[in-house]
């Protein structure tokens, strides 16, 4: 009886989240593919589903017009896509450069300090992201706190333009995504055995050499995980550039939003989203494949 209960419990623990993922993650994705292959119409919902279960039984009549449309007007989508990938790339790079020394420092602190520092890292997540962006605007505005201080201190006469620049955008991106980079880096650095570093020093390696030949390669899983965790949501990000950047920064996320809500063209919006997913996932799959190759 007891073991039966245990077995049931084990099945529940595994299958409940899996079922949850299947229903609430996989099905919407499938539905999005479905929408992207459907025809737009003026009705509710604003498309004629390609795959349908109705009175007349099951029907599947996919159309590729939406993808063809994107292909036809590719120039309209290329620059937002380039903007998004560039934003995601540099956000990931800056986060990595900021996060690595911090993660290293946390991982090398004593255990009790580590816990405090990790909580501090996660603290920004306790407030809404939007609120934090407005706080940043309050700091960076021409009449914001920083400019007020610089003018008061006599360092500058006129306010320095910080809003609507790359600086403001990347400040917002780093503010939002840094913890996602620090945590996996910390997790891989904290497992690094101190005697391995001492062995390297003992064998004649100086600081930079130890970092390059031992620490960096051994923390690579953390680097990869952190970069993926930042890059993937950053590609779809459009709120931060919209709030902190200039009007010329059109992001793919914004284009999708416009298609969905302004043009009410769900199929085209879905098709862009699917292409975006493909652009993100293919390099990852490729990297995984390469990884397997190098192991065997």
Partner 1 sequence: MTPFIRIQNISKKFGKLLAVDDVSFNLERGELFSLLGPSGCGKTTLLRMLAGFEKPSEGYIEIDGQNMANVDPADRPVNIMFQSYALFPHMSVSNNIAYGLKRASLPSDEIKARVEELLRLVHLSGMGARKPSTLSGGQRQRVALARALARRPKLLLLDEPLAALDKKLRSETQFELVNIQEQLGTTFIVVTHDQEEAMTLSTRIGVMDNGKLVQTATPNEIYEKPETRFVADFVGDISFLEATVIERTGKYWLMEAATPIYAIGSSTLTSGMKVSLAIRPEKITLTSQSTGHLNEFPVEIEDWAFYGAGTQYKVIGPDGIKLKVYQSHNQPSHANPRHLETGFVHFSPDATIILEG
Sites of contact with partner 1 (CB under 8 A): 193, 195-196, 198-206, 209, 213-214, 217-218
The CA dihedral of 207, 213, 217, 223, to the nearest 10 degrees, is: 40
CB nearer to partner 1: pick between 143 and 296: 296
Nearer to partner 1, 158 or 195 (CB): 195
Find the shortest distance in angstroms from Cβ 221 to partner 1: 11
Least separation in angstroms between residue 295's CB and partner 1 is 10
Tokens of 294: 């190098």
57-60 and 51-54: which strand pairing?
A: antiparallel
CB-nearer residue toward partner 1: 61 or 213: 213
Kindly state the smallest distance separating residue 220's Cβ from partner 1, in Å.
8
CB of 197 to partner 1, least distance (A): 9
Q: How far apart are CA 279 and CA 70, in angstroms?
A: 15
CA distance 95 to 89: 10
Closest CA to 188 of 143, 220, 236, 145: 220
Residue with smaller CB distance to partner 1, 155 or 295? 295
Which residue's CB is nearer to partner 1, number 203 or number 278? 203
SS3 letters across 13-54: HHHHHHHHHHHHHHHHHHHHHHHHCCEECCCCCCEECCEEEE
How far apart are CB 194 and partner 1 at their closest, in Å? 9
- Report the distance separating Cα 37 and Cα 35, nearest Å: 5
**Cα–Cα distance for residue pair 81/47, rounded to 1 Å:** 25
Least gap, CB of 231 to partner 1 (angstroms): 24
Task: Please say which residue, 29 or 287, places its beta carbon nearer to partner 1.
Answer: 287
């Amino acid at each position: 009886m007891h073991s039966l209960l245990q077995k049931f419990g084990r099945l529940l623990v595994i299958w409940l989240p899996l079922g949850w993922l299947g229903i609430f993650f996989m099905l919407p994705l499938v539905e999005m593919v479905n929408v992207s292959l459907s025809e737009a119409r003026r009705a509710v919902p604003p498309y004629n589903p390609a795959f349908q279960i109705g009175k007349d039984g099951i029907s599947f009549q996919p159309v590729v017009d939406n993808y063809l449309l994107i292909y036809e007007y590719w120039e309209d989508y290329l620059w937002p896509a380039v903007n998004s990938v560039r934003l995601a790339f540099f956000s990931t790079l800056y986060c990595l450069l900021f996060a690595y020394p911090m993660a290293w420092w946390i991982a090398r602190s004593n255990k009790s300090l580590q816990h405090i520092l990790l909580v501090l890292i996660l603290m920004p997540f306790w407030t809404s992201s939007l609120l934090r962006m407005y706080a940043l605007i309050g700091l960076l505005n021409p009449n914001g706190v920083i400019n007020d201080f610089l003018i008061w201190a006599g360092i500058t006469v006129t306010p320095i333009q910080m809003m609507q620049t790359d600086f403001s955008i990347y400040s917002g991106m780093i503010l939002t995504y840094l913890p996602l980079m620090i945590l996996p880096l910390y997790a891989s650095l904290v497992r690094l055995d101190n005697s391995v570093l001492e062995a390297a020093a003992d064998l004649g390696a100086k600081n930079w050499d130890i970092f390059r030949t031992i620490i960096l390669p051994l923390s690579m899983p953390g680097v990869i995980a952190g970069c993926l965790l930042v890059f993937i949501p950053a590609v779809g990000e459009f709120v931060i550039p919209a709030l902190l950047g200039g009007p010329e920064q059109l992001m793919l996320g914004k284009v999708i939003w416009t298609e969905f809500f302004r043009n009410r063209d769900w199929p085209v919006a879905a098709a862009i989203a699917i292409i975006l997913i493909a652009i993100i996932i293919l390099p990852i799959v490729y990297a995984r494949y390469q990884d397997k190759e190098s192991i065997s």
